[in-house]
């Protein structure tokens, strides 16, 4: 695979010297952009020294890079450690030179490095230079600025409309060489045929809107894109040094790439999950890096009921069924997921999941999930917020289902008590049914004022049988007579009982149902 590249740097329209630098090593497939700081010649020294130190450190471990590309013993994490160690070495070299030469004390540089090994890309990032990826018509910023402006934006202390008013908007929160060591953002991702990258200093991206980049990549040839970007930054102010480095991965020879389709499918299914809906493209790529693809034959179980679970699954293709005992609960197809609570809970699986046909699924382990959120606090906050949303939705759904079940149970009890096991059809058909015949014992009340218990008697109303209370008990003075229970009162009684559950029925309760009984 022959990767092409087009670098250019310019002093800009305001500065009198250029502290930016870039480095390309074709053999290593290494691409670096640095933006130095420190005044006079110190910034230029810092950026150049850092870029060359990183290249030299990686060149010393060329065998490890070759082993990884050949699929041998070297792992992705080994390359990430190697890349981070090379930046730390550069930080030590630059810092020591500042200590040794008082005129260069405090010098430092931003650093963005893209290393391509086989079909994997590895990025090291410090400062506010950027790396953009242009893929399938869309542009994604792969790095996050380590700058005062970005910190204020993230904390809600600043709006984008207020950025122009900030005095120290070029201040960075991380730099190579200012101190003996520095925190380095490193991550890796799939490199796909046709991918294009733009590495640039803040002297360029300060004048660019991300929404402009897709059109620029699409309309301008790569060999003309870099000088066009430099000219654009100068035309819009050119207050800082300007550096741009465009890198292009060749297209697939047959025009169709299986890896590209696979990666896009994985990113799409992750993005559709509520748990990951707040993540940026770069953060989704980090999630993708902790996934594993599992293949299942028909009848093979992915999850077994009762087993301890520590994995989340997202179906990529095929069909899987959820079942408990012999009962089918649900079916899953591409994009569906299950087991997300296993990422934070060690409870046994409540059901089994089995492939119904040849199926593939992404799996995320609890260990990988926690390793990721420990390293990235921003991702941890977003995932915590998403988990709260998922749990809230489930709690509401469960409460609603419990309420429906409680109401249904109350209805069943009242129906059984009022109607008996079978309700006879009145003469004349269902249209003549006015009221069911309740169980007489339900309508018996205990008088709290020492009245005798009312005795139920039967009476026929339009062919349907109902009951009313025979008023034989003596009534205390100045008390209203006990109400009769007509068919409408019976229906209102059922509604009341459905609402109050096990509250005992008394004469006062009946009075509340029909406060103005018919004396007839």
The string of pLDDT tens digits covering residues 105-127 is 989 999 999 999 999 999 999 99
DSSP 308: B
pLDDT of residue 464: 41
Give 233: exposed, middle or buried? Use CB within 10 Å, 0-12, 13-18, 19+: buried
pLDDT given for residue 427 in this prediction: 47
Neighbouring C-beta atoms of residue 517, cutoff 10 Å: 17
Share of the chain above pLDDT 90, in %: 50
Task: Convert the pLDDT of each residue in 273-302 to its tens digit.
Answer: 888 988 988 889 889 989 999 999 999 999
Average pLDDT over residues 264-271: 89
Which pLDDT score, from 0 to 100, does residue 495 have? 42
State residue 322's pLDDT score.
94
Using DSSP, state whether 475 is helix, strand or coil. Answer: coil
pLDDT tens-place string over residues 223-264: 999 999 999 999 999 999 999 999 999 987 765 577 788 888
- Percentage of the chain surpassing pLDDT 70? 78
Residue 129 is predicted with a pLDDT of: 97
Q: pTM score, two decimals?
A: 0.71
- What confidence tier does 343 reach under pLDDT thresholds 50, 70, 90? confident
- Three-state DSSP at 280 gives coil
- pLDDT band, residue 449 (cuts 50/70/90): very low
For the residues 57-67, what does the mean pLDDT come to? Answer: 95
**β partners of residue 31:** 24, 114
- 382 by DSSP, 3-state: which? helix
The answer for 227, left when phi > 0, alpha when psi is -120 to 50, beta otherwise, is: alpha
User: Residue 319: pLDDT band by 50, 70, 90 thresholds?
Assistant: very high
Those residues with Cβ within 8 angstroms of residue 301's Cβ, 6 or more apart along the chain or in another chain: 352, 353, 354, 355
pLDDT exceeds cutoff 60 at 99: yes
Dist CA 199 CA 6 (whole Å): 10
For residues 127-140, average pLDDT = 94
> pLDDT category, 325, cuts 50, 70, 90?
confident
DSSP string across 328-368: EEEEE-TT-EE-GGGGT--PBPSSEEEESSSEEEEEEEHHH
CA atoms of 371 and 383, how far apart (whole Å) = 13
The answer to whether 178 touches 108, Cβ cutoff 8 Å, is yes
pLDDT for residue 362 is more than 90:
yes
Contact yes or no for 391/319 (Cβ under 8 A) = no
Please report the pLDDT score of residue 389 as a whole number: 83
CA distance linking residue 20 with residue 112, whole number of Å: 12
Residue pLDDT, tens place only, 501-518: 444 444 443 344 344 444
**Spatial separation of the C-alpha atoms in residues 106 and 178, rounded to whole Å:** 5
Q: Which domains does the chain have, with CATH numbers?
A: 4-252 (3.60.40.10), 265-395 (2.60.120.10), 430-513 (no CATH)
Mind listing the pLDDT tens digit for each residue in 415-446? 777 776 544 544 444 444 444 444 433 333 34
| pLDDT value, residue 460 | 41
Helices (H), 335-485: 366-375, 377-419, 440-443
| Sign of the four-CA dihedral 314, 317, 323, 327 | positive
Instruction: Report whether pLDDT(130) > 50.
Output: yes
Residue 235 CA: distances (Å) to CA of 14, 24, 230, 355, 479 = 12, 27, 9, 60, 96
Question: Residue 434 and residue 235: Cα distance in Å, rounded?
Answer: 86
CA-nearest of 292, 296, 268, 309 to 355 is 296
Q: HSE (CB half, 13 Å, CA atoms) of 405?
A: 6
Which of the two residues, 1 and 436, has the higher pLDDT score? 1
**Paired residues of 312 in beta bridges:** 364
């Amino acid at each position: 695979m022959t990767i092409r590249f087009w670098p250019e740097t310019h002093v800009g329209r305001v500065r009198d010297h250029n502290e930016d630098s870039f480095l390309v090593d074709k053999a290593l497939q290494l691409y670096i952009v640095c933006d130095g700081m420190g005044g006079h010649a110190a910034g230029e020294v810092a950026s150049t020294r850092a870029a060359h130190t990183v290249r030299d450190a990686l060149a010393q471990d060329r065998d490890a890079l070759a082993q990884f590309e050949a699929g041998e013993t070297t792992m992705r994490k080994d390359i990430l450690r190697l890349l981070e160690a090379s930046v730390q070495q550069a930080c030590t070299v630059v810092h020591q030179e500042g200590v040794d030469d008082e005129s260069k004390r405090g010098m430092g540089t931003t650093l963005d490095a893209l290393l391509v090994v086989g079909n994997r890309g590895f990025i090291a990032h410090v400062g506010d230079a950027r790396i953009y990826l242009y893929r399938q018509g869309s542009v994604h910023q792969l790095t996050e600025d380590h700058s005062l402006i970005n910190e204020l934006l993230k904390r809600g202390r600043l709006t984008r409309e207020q950025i122009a008013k900030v005095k120290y908007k070029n201040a960075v929160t991380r730099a190579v060489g200012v101190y003996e060591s520095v925190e380095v953002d490193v991550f890796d991702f799939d490199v796909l045929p046709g991918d294009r990258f733009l590495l640039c200093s803040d002297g360029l991206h300060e004048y660019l809107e991300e929404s402009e980049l897709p059109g620029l990549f699409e309309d301008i040839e790569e060999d003309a894109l870099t000088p066009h970007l430099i000219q654009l930054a100068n035309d819009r102010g050119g207050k800082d040094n300007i550096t741009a480095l465009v890198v292009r991965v060749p297209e697939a020879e047959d025009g169709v790439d299986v890896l590209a389709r696979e990666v896009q499918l994985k990113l799409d299914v992750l993005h559709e999950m509520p748990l990951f809906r707040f993540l940026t493209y770069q953060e989704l790529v980090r999630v993708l890096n902790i996934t594993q693809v599992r293949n299942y034959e028909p009848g093979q179980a992915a999850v077994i009921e009762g087993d301890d679970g520590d994995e989340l699954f997202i179906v990529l293709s095929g069909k899987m069924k959820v079942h408990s005992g012999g009962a089918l609960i649900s079916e899953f197809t591409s994009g569906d997921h299950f087991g997300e609570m296993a990422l934070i809970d060690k409870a046994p699986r409540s059901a089994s999941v089995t492939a119904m046909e040849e199926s593939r699924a992404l799996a995320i382990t609890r260990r990988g999930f926690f390793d990721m959120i420990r390293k990235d606090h921003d991702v941890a906050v977003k995932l915590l917020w998403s988990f709260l949303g998922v749990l809230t939705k489930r709690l509401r759904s469960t409460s609603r289902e419990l309420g429906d079940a409680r109401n249904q149970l109350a209805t069943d009890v009242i129906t059984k008590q009022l109607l008996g096991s079978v309700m006879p059809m009145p003469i004349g058909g269902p249209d003549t049914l006015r009221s069911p015949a309740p169980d007489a014992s339900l309508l018996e009340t205990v008088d709290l004022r020492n009245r005798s218990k009312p005795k139920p008697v039967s009476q026929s109303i339009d062919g349907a049988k109902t009951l009313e209370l025979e008023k034989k008990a003596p009534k205390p003075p100045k008390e209203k007579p006990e109400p009769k229970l007509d068919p409408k009162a019976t229906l209102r009684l059922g509604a009341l009982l459905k609402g109050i559950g096990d509250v005992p029925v008394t004469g006062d309760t009946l009075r509340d149902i029909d406060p103005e009984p018919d004396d007839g």
